[in-house]
Chain A
Amino acid sequence: MRVVVLVKQVPDIVSDRRLGDDHRLVRTERDAVLNEIDEGALETALRAGDALGATVVAVTMGPPSAAGVVRKALQVGASLGVHVLDDALAGSDAVGTARVLAAAVRLLAQEEGDGDGGVGLVVAGMAALDGLSSVVPALVAAELGWPVASFADSVEITPGDESQGAAVTVSRDTDAGEETLRATLPAVVSVTDTIASLRVPSFQTMLAARKATLRVLTAADLGLEPGERGGVGAAGARAVVTQAAPRPPRPAPEVVTRDGAAALVDFLAARGLLEVGA
């Protein structure tokens, strides 16, 4: 069985992030880091792999510079790295991205054999810090027809036995309340930034990573057809950014260094905000 962890390269949040003339995020090798929340996803996948006796496969989609985040996954113990690299897939929207990732999961499951259980679990970070859209994990689940538990604060694996299949139990806190959810595998989970810290690479895993091959897959390898019909790539995107411009900087603040309490209340009164919450 395999556990798949979805990782993403994002520009460092402290770097000068910007959108290019094509309205897409400018990605450079220099600023590229592993999406912070994905570190917890990676750790969760490694632990799930141990619990299930499964190998961990790190999957990313992105430009050549994205290979770095897969290598990082290999350094901490993932057995295989997959980089979906194809210019024809650039500009995919959230739906298209999920379609590509789901296709990669399907391929990995098929190769592993074992029927539908080839991939038991897909783990992702709850959001990418570059786009704020935390919809991709649930879209991947919908593509696969698997149950999804997003925003997990804890993930527990119950290995299967003769009486029942393997399952994942997730606790989470959403606007719907505090929940404990259970799903039989295969399933998709996304994790929050509180889940777990990523382990430090060991000498063995570092050594193994050096020998590991990073597998590159194209749209054709995944049986996908970029364009309107296939729903992947820029031409297949249903949601397209048509305008992008940096916002003007905010005006400098009014700074008060004395009698702060009085200044605050005067300011609220002047803006008509004393009764705002009434």
Chain B
Amino acid sequence: MIKTFFLVLLLFITLSIVLQKNNKILVVLYSGFSLIAASLYFFNHAPDVALAEIAVGSAFMPLIFLIAISKQTTFTVMQQGHFHMEVKDFLYDFCQIENLKLKIVQSEDVFNDEAKGIYGVFRRQDIDVILNYHPKMQHYILTCKQSNVMTNKLLEMSLKYPSIKVVRTKDIDTMD
């Protein structure tokens, strides 16, 4: 009796997980799914498995998801040298429209090879946009990948500024 009730409830929660689009609501629904699964384990005479399922499914997995979600909302820009505030205003407006957080790093910190040696390969940051200044033509160049979804709107917004140019590069095929 109770088992069939929990099973039907599990079916409804699964359907709402599949159809939901907001990321933060999904985490709470996943935690509820894990709780109901643990109660089902208990009613089938297996209390050890229920305890492990609660500890892992309701405490660890939402933490992983929350960290991954919060890392998705930062927009990293790498610059070589120090630049005028006009480009920074443009990037700030872009981030405000898309609800992202702006983070600017210097290129010397990312590619510092003497201190790291071989470990530098594993520790490179995820960079979205590279900022450069072309001294002859006097405009700024923003380089980004074509597969990056966050920079879709950057090209349209840069048409209003004559001194900013956006370049989208294609990925190199890897040999995996």
A binds B: no
